Amino acid sequence: DAKTTQPPSMDCAEGRAANLPCNHSTISGNEYVYWYRQIHSQGPQYIIHGLKNNETNEMASLIITEDRKSSTLILPHATLRDTAVYYCIVRVTGNQFYFGTGTSLTVIP
């Protein structure tokens, strides 16, 4: 199963775009990239996922490089409520998700 590498923490000014990187250099051709986030004391929440094309939904955009070895989650206009730990997960065989340590994003007023 492909592993992911994320920076442990990042800051972002309120109203600015937050760009969260993830490296997954050993990803295989049929593995998707998923992003979840966990706001303090709550269970993780799904954000977005993709295979090789860029994806956008009401929460975020996901940019996957052409070689699929890395991706970036973009929160276009970060708010204080976006302060959370963000997990980048490459889907393993079956349906198990293995969450790493994620990136702790702090949105600063």
Partner 1 sequence: DAGVIQSPRHEVTEMGQEVTLRCKPISGHNSLFWYRQTMMRGLELLIYFNNNVPIDDSGMPEDRFSAKMPNASFSTLKIQPSEPRDSAVYFCASSKQGPGTSGRGRYNEQFFGPGTRLTVL
Give, in order, the Cα–Cα distances in Å from 104 to each of 33, 69, 95, 96, 107.
18, 21, 25, 23, 10
Q: C-beta of 63: minimal distance to partner 1 in Å?
A: 17
Q: C-beta of 1: minimal distance to partner 1 in Å?
A: 12
Q: C-beta of 10: minimal distance to partner 1 in Å?
A: 17
Nearer to partner 1 (CB atom), residue 14 or residue 63: 63
User: Which residues make up the interface to partner 1 (CB under 8 A)?
Assistant: 30, 32, 34, 36, 38, 41-46, 49, 87, 91, 94-102
| CA–CA gap between residue 105 and residue 12 (Å, rounded) | 7
CA 16: distance to chain centroid? Answer: 17
| CA–CA gap between residue 100 and residue 80 (Å, rounded) | 23
Nearer to partner 1 (CB atom), residue 54 or residue 77: 54
Nearer to partner 1 (CB atom), residue 14 or residue 55: 55
| CA–CA gap between residue 44 and residue 24 (Å, rounded) | 21
Nearer to partner 1 (CB atom), residue 38 or residue 106: 38
